């Protein structure tokens, strides 16, 4: 779908590393460049035309994000530098002041480093206790979530879709459960928001973090969604220009209201405006259409991989758009280098989920992650190359 | 050395690496490459005795280049004195960084000459050698 909008595809690459970052359509690049070439100005400042235009466009993107994830208010949308930044702000801006020693935080071993390390830091700082929900065949099941909850459980923080296996968690059910039990529910949406419809109200999320660059947008832009009453209590972890209402030399100060209070300094204006173009583009295609297309493409990919004897697939039963595999007896990095020889881009490694190996018993995998611009023809090419992998070391060495 | 011979030496050392498997002994120094690389994970053991490297062992998971380089590194450095290690290591580092070097000092390590020219593989070829710099400080 829509391959003509992605100039980079003319170079002949088969890009299957969308879990890391996606390609950018021309409209996103144009929107970013236009800001630099046609109406550069800072946001929230001057009274001249270009500055007012920047304000209008920048705040317009906030409204687009609100609509995209079905938030109640634009005040619930904070622009950050990415998912990692968003999660850090949730942990150190909110949880640090709302949790106390002995409170329990539930994660899983399949989480991305960004959803584990901040909590481990908080464990050291405040004395919260980080616990891991046991996985069932590498996946989260409601029963295990229920059994992991104690009187001390204050937070559940999970990826909606994991970045290694691409499995989707029962987020809505967990969201309802958290609401019922008064547990804060934090969701890492980096691998879900780009690929399917997400409705924060319907899913009962307290916080959601995601990145623009994994959904056609520029790098360096992310979103922190939080329920308004929670964001009101989120302490700014960065303070300075643009977010203060008044301050005096005697040491008294007052911060602005949401969302400005949480966006200190000049934001990534070009990036946010580019992100707006990405959102328009995605909404035009339709997130449900993207989801359905990717699911069927993944099924096709798996069915073809299964015809190759020496390829092991680790997530056959999982839906979504990620395929984790290895060639038997070949180190994942060698497979990635071999595929690169044929201009096929995949990722090898542990995908920033270093403790998943404790559960998966496999340290490293090749990850092919799809997006809507990938095609069956591309999959066929990958299969052809994998089928002739007997000569892999002639290529790799 | 032609490219086919080079590849065969690497392949032989990847598929049947020399001294793979660690030993349980107190007199070995242990280094891990994990902090230098996100994906390759090699443990390398050195035994120093009477001013030479008397034994080297390794184990772990790594790509074909790193694994074969570990094997060849071990073959090269067992029995060497500190000045000998330094001389070979210096020349190997120069070769990988595209500087002038003395090929006669390198023996079979010369097989990584071309790989050193590929930025993403250079690290793999050097990974097992990183610990040697630390070992030199103990000699």
Using CB atoms, pick whichever of B7, B11, B63 lies closest to residue A331.
Answer: B63
| Residue A246 β-bridge partners | A254
Encode A39-65: b = buried (16+ Cβ within 10 Å), e = exposed: eebbbbeeeeeebeebbebbbebbebb
* A98 within domain boundaries: yes
Instruction: Kindly report the backbone phi and psi dihedral angles of residue A349, in degrees, each rounded to the nearest multiple of 5, phi listed first.
Output: 140, -155
**Residue of higher predicted confidence among A241 and B18:** B18
Give A331 to chain B, closest Cα distance, Å.
6
* pLDDT at A361 > cutoff 80: no
Contact A349 B38 (CB under 8 A): yes
* A256 within domain boundaries: yes
Beta strands in chain B (DSSP E): 28-32, 41-49, 52-61
Q: How many CB atoms lie within 10 A of CB A78?
A: 25
**Among residues A266, A284, A302, which one ends one of the domains?**
A284
pLDDT score recorded for residue B38: 65
Are A211 and A87 found together in one domain? yes
Q: How confident is the model at residue A352 (pLDDT cuts 50, 70, 90)?
A: low
Are A238 and A117 found together in one domain? yes
Using CB atoms, pick whichever of A349, A363, A397 lies closest to residue B7.
Answer: A397
Burial of A313 (C-beta count, 10 Å sphere; 0-12/13-18/19+): middle
Encode A367-380: b = buried (16+ Cβ within 10 Å), e = exposed: bbbbbbbbeeebbe
Who contacts B16 (Cβ-Cβ below 8 Å, separation ≥6)? none
Give B100 to chain A, closest Cα distance, Å.
23
Residues of chain A whose C-beta is under 8 A from some C-beta in B?
A: 331-334, 337, 348-350, 363-364, 393-394, 396-397
The answer to whether A66 and A74 have CB atoms below 8 angstroms apart is: yes
pLDDT score recorded for residue A46: 78
Radius of gyration for chain A, computed over Cα atoms and rounded to the nearest angstrom: 22
Q: In what order do the strands lie in the sheet with A77-80?
A: A77-80, A222-226, A207-211, A184-188, A153-159, A104-107, A129-132
> Running DSSP on this structure, what letter comes out for residue A189?
-
> Running DSSP on this structure, what letter comes out for residue B108?
G
Using CB atoms, pick whichever of B11, B38, B41 lies closest to residue A393.
Answer: B11
SS (H, E, C) A297-345: HHHHHHHHHCCCCCEEECCCCCCCCEEEEEECCCCHHHHHHHHHHCCEE
Are A186 and A265 found together in one domain? yes
The answer to whether B70 and B64 have CB atoms below 8 angstroms apart is: no
Mean pLDDT score across all residues of chain B: 92
Are A173 and A73 found together in one domain? yes
**Of the candidate ranges A60-64, B42-46, B114-118, the one whose mean pLDDT is the lowest:** B114-118
Residues in chain A with CB shorter than 8 Å from the CB of B10 are 397
Within 13 Å, how many C-alpha atoms sit on residue A283's CB side?
A: 13
* A261 within domain boundaries: yes
Q: How confident is the model at residue B111 (pLDDT cuts 50, 70, 90)?
A: very high
* pLDDT at A59 > cutoff 90: yes
Contact A397 B14 (CB under 8 A): yes
Residues in chain A with CB shorter than 8 Å from the CB of B41 are 363
Are A244 and A109 found together in one domain? yes
pLDDT score recorded for residue A363: 74
Contact B14 A393 (CB under 8 A): yes
Minimum Cα–Cα distance from A393: chain B residue = B11
Q: How confident is the model at residue A360 (pLDDT cuts 50, 70, 90)?
A: low
The CATH number that applies at residue A199 is 3.40.640.10
Are A179 and A324 found together in one domain? no
The CATH number that applies at residue B11 is 3.90.1010.10
Report d(CA A154, CA A127) in Å as an integer.
13
pLDDT score recorded for residue B117: 84
Mean pLDDT of B6-21: 95
Q: Which domain holds residue A373?
A: 3-16+287-396
Are A256 and A156 found together in one domain? yes
Report d(CA B49, CA A329) in Å as an integer.
36
Residues in chain B with CB shorter than 8 Å from the CB of A367 are none
Residues in chain A with CB shorter than 8 Å from the CB of B39 are 332-333, 348-350, 364
> Running DSSP on this structure, what letter comes out for residue A270?
H
Are A226 and A326 found together in one domain? no
Could you give the angle at which helices B119-138 and B82-96 cross, rounded to 10 degrees?
160
- The structure tokens listed for B138 are 């103990």
Picking from A211, A214, A106, the residue whose alpha carbon sits closest to that of residue A169 is A106
* pLDDT at A328 > cutoff 80: yes
Is residue A352 part of the annotated active site? The answer reads yes
Residue located via tokens 């990974």: B127
Report d(CA A18, CA A68) in Å as an integer.
20
Report d(CA A369, CA B74) in Å as an integer.
38
Question: Which pTM value belongs to this model?
Answer: 0.93
Contact B64 A331 (CB under 8 A): yes
How far is the first Cα of chain B from the last one, in angstroms, to the nearest whole number? 33
Using CB atoms, pick whichever of A350, A393, A394 lies closest to residue B39.
Answer: A350
pLDDT score recorded for residue A354: 66
Report d(CA A184, CA A177) in Å as an integer.
10
What is the count of structural domains for chain A? 2
Give A110 to chain B, closest Cα distance, Å.
17
pLDDT above 90 as % of chain A:
85
* pLDDT at A73 > cutoff 90: yes
pLDDT score recorded for residue A174: 98
Tell which phi-psi region holds residue A121, choosing left (phi > 0), alpha (psi between -120 and 50) or beta: alpha
Contact A331 B61 (CB under 8 A): yes
Are A267 and A314 found together in one domain? no
- Percent helix, strand and coil across chain B, each to the nearest 5: 55, 20, 30
Contact B7 A393 (CB under 8 A): yes
Report d(CA B95, CA A50) in Å as an integer.
55
Element (H, E) at A59: helix A49-69
pLDDT digits (tens, 9 = 90+) for A177-223: 999 999 999 999 999 999 999 999 999 999 999 999 999 999 999 99
What is the count of structural domains for chain B? 1
pLDDT digits (tens, 9 = 90+) for A82-116: 999 999 999 999 999 999 999 999 999 999 999 99
A:B CB pairs within 8 Å: 39
The answer to whether A131 and A104 have CB atoms below 8 angstroms apart is: yes
Q: How many CB atoms lie within 10 A of CB A232?
A: 12
pLDDT score recorded for residue B53: 96
> Running DSSP on this structure, what letter comes out for residue A133?
P
* A21 within domain boundaries: no
pLDDT score recorded for residue A253: 87
């Amino acid at each position: 779908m829509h391959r003509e909008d992605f100039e980079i595809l003319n170079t002949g690459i088969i890009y299957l590393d969308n879990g890391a970052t996606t390609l950018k359509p021309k409209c996103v690049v144009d929107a970013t460049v236009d800001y630099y070439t046609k109406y550069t100005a800072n946001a929230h400042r001057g009274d001249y035309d270009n500055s007012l235009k920047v304000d209008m466009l920048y705040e317009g993107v906030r409204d687009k994000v609100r609509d995209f994830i079905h938030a109640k208010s634009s005040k619930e949308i904070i622009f950050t530098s990415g998912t990692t930044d968003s999660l850090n702000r949730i942990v150190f801006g909110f949880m640090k002041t709302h949790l106390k020693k002995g409170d329990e935080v539930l994660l899983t071993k399949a989480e991305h480093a960004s959803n584990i390390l901040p909590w481990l830091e908080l464990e050291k700082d405040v004395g919260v206790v980080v616990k891991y929900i046991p996985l069932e065949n590498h996946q989260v099941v409601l029963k295990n979530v229920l059994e992991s909850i104690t009187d001390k459980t204050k937070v559940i923080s999970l990826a909606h879709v994991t970045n290694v296996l691409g499995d989707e968690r029962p987020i809505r059910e967990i969201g309802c459960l958290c609401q019922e039990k008064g547990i804060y529910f934090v969701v890492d949406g980096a691998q879900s928001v780009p690929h399917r419809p997400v409705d924060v109200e319907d899913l009962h999320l307290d916080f959601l973090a995601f990145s623009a660059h994994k959904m056609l947008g520029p790098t360096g832009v992310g979103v922190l969604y939080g329920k308004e009453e929670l964001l009101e209590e989120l302490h700014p972890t960065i303070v300075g220009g643009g977010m203060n209402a008044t301050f005096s030399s005697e040491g008294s100060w007052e911060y602005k209201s949401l969302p400005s209070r949480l966006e200190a300094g000049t934001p990534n204006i070009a990036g946010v405006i580019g992100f707006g173009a990405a959102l328009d583009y995605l909404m035009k295609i339709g997130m449900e259409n993207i989801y359905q297309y990717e699911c069927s493409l993944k099924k096709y990919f798996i069915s073809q991989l299964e015809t190759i004897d020496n390829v092991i697939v680790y997530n056959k039963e999982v839906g979504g758009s990620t395929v984790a595999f290895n060639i038997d007896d070949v180190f994942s990095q060698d497979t990635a280098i071999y595929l690169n020889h044929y201009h096929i881009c995949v990722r090898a490694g542990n995908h920033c989920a270093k403790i998943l190996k404790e559960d998966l018993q496999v340290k490293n995998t090749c990850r092919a992650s799809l997006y809507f611009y990938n095609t069956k023809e591309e999959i066929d090419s990958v299969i052809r190359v994998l089928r002739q992998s007997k000569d892999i070391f002639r290529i790799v060495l | 050395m032609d490219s086919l011979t080079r590849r065969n030496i690497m392949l032989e050392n990847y598929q049947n690496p020399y001294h793979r498997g660690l030993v349980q002994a107190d007199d070995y120094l242990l280094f891990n490459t994990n902090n230098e690389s996100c994906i390759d994970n090699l443990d390398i053991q050195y035994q120093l005795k009477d001013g030479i490297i008397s034994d080297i062992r390794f184990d772990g998971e790594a790509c074909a280049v790193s694994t074969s380089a570990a094997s060849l590194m071990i073959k090269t450095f067992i029995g060497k004195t500190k000045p000998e290690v330094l001389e070979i290591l210096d020349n190997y580092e120069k070769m990988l960084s595209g500087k002038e070097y003395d090929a006669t000092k390198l023996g079979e390590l010369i097989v990584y000459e071309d790989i050193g020219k590929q930025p993403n593989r250079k690290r793999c070829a050097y990974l097992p050698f990183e610990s040697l710099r630390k070992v030199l400080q103990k000699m």
